[in-house]
Chain A
Amino acid sequence: EPEVTQTPSHQVTQMGQEVILRCVPISNHLYFYWYRQILGQKVEFLVSFYNNEISEKSEIFDDQFSVERPDGSNFTLKIRSTKLEDSAMYFCASSSVGPNTEAFFGQGTRLTVV
């Protein structure tokens, strides 16, 4: 069964460092998403991406965040200068054919900023 894969599963970084979280969406999907879940809290939408550009982003997705699809298979989230409050689980998701179809989620990357 096709699945969304995320690497690494856990990343520890020092405050102020840049991190890149990687995702391989399901191969025939066209929409890609990043969500964040701070420990013990709800899942928060960060950004959606379609046709090589951001289609929607939340207020959380400020200038320190960027997304990219560098090749035909990867979808990355970059955090330029990490802060302690960026510590969270980051989930990548993808969906097919159009909006409002179900999103399939990866297992997440746990980011710890120290």
Chain B
Amino acid sequence: AQSVTQPDIHITVSEGASLELRCNYSYGATPYLFWYVQSPGQGLQLLLKYFSGDTLVQGIKGFEAEFKRSQSSFNLRKPSVHWSDAAEYFCAVGGYNNDMRFGAGTRLTVKP
């Protein structure tokens, strides 16, 4: 089955600084990749997704992610972080059997 690793449990960045959250996946076929954001006490909101085509995908709230097959990675980036971006971020990989596997999440703290 597919799996996802998010190496960073917690990241702190200053407001206005750039951000990169790492995600590595394991899957035997072409992966379907997602980034979700979860604010405290809230559900999961989709930021962006990759199914095929252009390996650089744009999402909501100014986020983007780049699929790199050679590195089995799908890192999330944002050029300038806002205080409202503080949340938990989950990378997920979808398989053929209608199930998604999530990484452990990366908690983002934004310093003023």
Interface residues of B (CB under 8 A from A): 32, 34, 36, 42-46, 49, 51, 90, 92, 94-105
The smallest C-beta distance from B34 to any residue of chain A, in angstroms, reads: 7
Number of interface residues of A (CB under 8 A): 25
On whether the beta carbons of B90 and A103 are closer than 8 Å, the reply is no
On whether the beta carbons of B43 and A55 are closer than 8 Å, the reply is no
On whether the beta carbons of A105 and B98 are closer than 8 Å, the reply is no
Query: Please, which residue of chain A has its CB at the minimum distance from the CB of B6?
Result: A42
The smallest C-beta distance from B3 to any residue of chain A, in angstroms, reads: 11
Whole-angstrom CA separation of A82 from B105 in the bound complex: 27
Interface residues of A (CB under 8 A from B): 31, 33, 35, 41-45, 48, 50, 55-56, 58, 91, 93, 95, 99-100, 102-108
On whether the beta carbons of A102 and B96 are closer than 8 Å, the reply is no
Q: A100-B51, A108-B43 are in contact. Are A55 and B104 (CB under 8 A)?
A: no
Query: Please, which residue of chain A has its CB at the minimum distance from the CB of B48?
Result: A102
The dominant DSSP class at the B interface is strand
Q: A100-B94, A106-B43, A108-B43 are in contact. Are A45 and B99 (CB under 8 A)?
A: yes
The dominant DSSP class at the A interface is strand
On whether the beta carbons of A56 and B97 are closer than 8 Å, the reply is yes
Query: Please, which residue of chain A has its CB at the minimum distance from the CB of B94?
Result: A100
For B32, B90, B98, B101, which residue has the most chain A Cβ atoms within 10 angstroms?
B98
On whether the beta carbons of B43 and A99 are closer than 8 Å, the reply is no
Query: Please, which residue of chain B has its CB at the minimum distance from the CB of A98?
Result: B98
Whole-angstrom CA separation of A6 from B54 in the bound complex: 35
Q: A43-B44, A105-B44 are in contact. Are A99 and B96 (CB under 8 A)?
A: yes
Q: A42-B105, A99-B95 are in contact. Are A107 and B43 (CB under 8 A)?
A: yes
